[in-house]
Amino acid sequence: MPKELIRLANCTMAFDGEVVLDNINLYINDQEFLTLLGPSGCGKTTTLRIIGGFQTPTQGDVFFDGVRINDVPPHKRTINTVFQRYALFPHLNVFENIAFGLRIPKTDPESRRKVKLPESEIQERVLEMLKVVNLKGFEKRAVSSLSGGQQQRVAIARALVNRPKVLLLDEPLGALDLRLRKDMQIELKRIQQAMGITFIYVTHDQEEALAMSDTVVVMDEGKIQQIGTPEDIYNEPKNAFVADFIGESNIIDGIMRADGVVEIFNRRFQCLDKGFAKDEPVDVVIRPEDVDIVPEGQGQLKGTVTSVTFKGMQYDIIVDFYGFKWLIQTTDLSPVGSRIGIKIDPDGIHVMKKSHYSGMFGDYSSYSEEYEEISDADYDPEAEDQEAEHEEE
């Protein structure tokens, strides 16, 4: 069973009377890769700084291995930090950058005297770290001669060489290009597993969070919106904010008619969700990849294609259903202006309770400027049903 290492209990943080963290409760396990994910200003970096000791919460407590550490300064916590700006020393080579912290005399807890590490131990630990971060043989290089990714590895090695129990990483991949960022995601996860320590990672990039984390903490407005595995966060979002922030989403107003039956656009769809009140208003999330395009006459819903964007592996298609724009991701091309039908399997529909985020997201045209808007608002689903019934008669 995982062992709890860090706990934030009822932590609130305010600056000049403005609350930036609102009663946060969070625990982090030993050897866990946990990511704090959210937009700018959500409180994720403040949370990281409280864990690191750079800020003290206005209210609440921070526990490390069961001991309250609110008043313990950063240098006395077995926690190190890697920032977005690596802050390497340009006048020192790779070896000396990593060894810098080891050369600072430490106070012996028994004698209270300053003690220096033997040079042989410094040599051994630095070379060990170079191997861990895949920079063996780079010890004599000038840091200015290294690529961005290599400089980041030096910064990580410098933070790990002191053997902390926790490594805090504050958006460390932000300065790297896309390809290098993806490579470093794999490297960071490998390093964390090789070292067997806790990583707490801050990012606004949902792909990074999903790719690396054991646990994702989604934050907004100074509050935790959801905690879970990457799979849980993506497949079972708790509210419209999480659904919109993690991946692409179509978020539609619905009514829960019964367990396993939700109504959207006056059509009833089978779903897997239960436990809602009869006729309760809900938010319905349908991921773009969970929608199947079929001939118009076979569709549960029918709409007009208003935009097609080629993305390499797939087409991003915007479809207008009765004035509401949906994003559909498919490998089959449907040209602009064509009428299509769609089908959605029950496991492709996720129902959420209404929240104060309801109505803020959903219609793809409301926030995607790259797509043209061809209105399909004249189509009336009830009239369409009556027409179909008339044809059957």
Q: 185-208 as b/e, with b when 16 or more CB fall inside 10 Å?
A: bebbbebbeebebbbbbbbbebeb
Give DSSP secondary structure letters for 55-90. S--SEEEEEETTEE-TT--GGGSSEEEE-SS----T
Q: Interior CA angle at 35 toward 32 and 40, to 5°?
A: 165
Q: Check residue 361 and give its pLDDT.
A: 80
Sheet holding 59-64, edge to edge: 18-29, 4-15, 59-64, 67-68
Nearest Cα residue to 283 out of 331, 328, 237, 342: 237
CATH class for the region spanning 4-235: alpha beta
Print pLDDT tens along the chain (393 aa).
789 999 999 999 999 889 999 999 999 999 999 999 999 999 999 999 999 999 999 999 999 999 999 999 998 999 999 887 778 999 999 999 999 989 888 777 777 788 888 999 999 999 999 999 889 999 999 999 998 889 988 999 999 999 999 999 998 887 677 788 888 888 899 999 989 999 999 999 999 999 999 999 999 999 999 999 999 999 999 999 999 999 889 999 999 999 999 999 999 999 999 999 999 999 999 999 999 999 999 999 999 999 999 998 899 999 998 888 999 999 989 999 999 999 999 999 999 999 999 988 866 644 333 333 333 434 444 444 455 444 444
Q: How far apart are CA 190 and CA 187, in angstroms?
A: 5
> Residue 224 pairs with which residues in a beta bridge?
219
Largest CA distance in the chain: 97
Q: Is beta strand 267-270 parallel, antiparallel or unpaired with respect to 339-344?
A: unpaired
Give DSSP secondary structure letters for 281-330. EEEEEE-GGGEEEE-GGG-SEEEEEEEEEE-SSSEEEEEEETTEEEEEEE
Topology at the third CATH level for domain 248-392: OB fold (Dihydrolipoamide Acetyltransferase, E2P) (2.40.50)
Q: Check residue 281 and give its pLDDT.
A: 97
Q: How far apart are CA 334 and CA 304, in angstroms?
A: 10
Q: Check residue 257 and give its pLDDT.
A: 97
273, 351 contact by CB (below 8 A): yes
Q: How far apart are CA 159 and CA 77, in angstroms?
A: 13
106, 172 contact by CB (below 8 A): no
Q: Where are the domains of the chain?
A: 4-235, 248-392
175, 10 contact by CB (below 8 A): no
Q: What share of the chain is helix, strand, coil (3-state, %, to 5)?
A: 30, 35, 40
Residue pointed to by tokens 């050897």? 31
The H or E element containing residue 100 is: none
Q: How far apart are CA 8 and CA 64, in angstroms?
A: 9
Give DSSP secondary structure letters for 121-154. HHHHHHHHHHHHTT-TT-TTSBGGGS-HHHHHHH
pTM of the complete model: 0.84
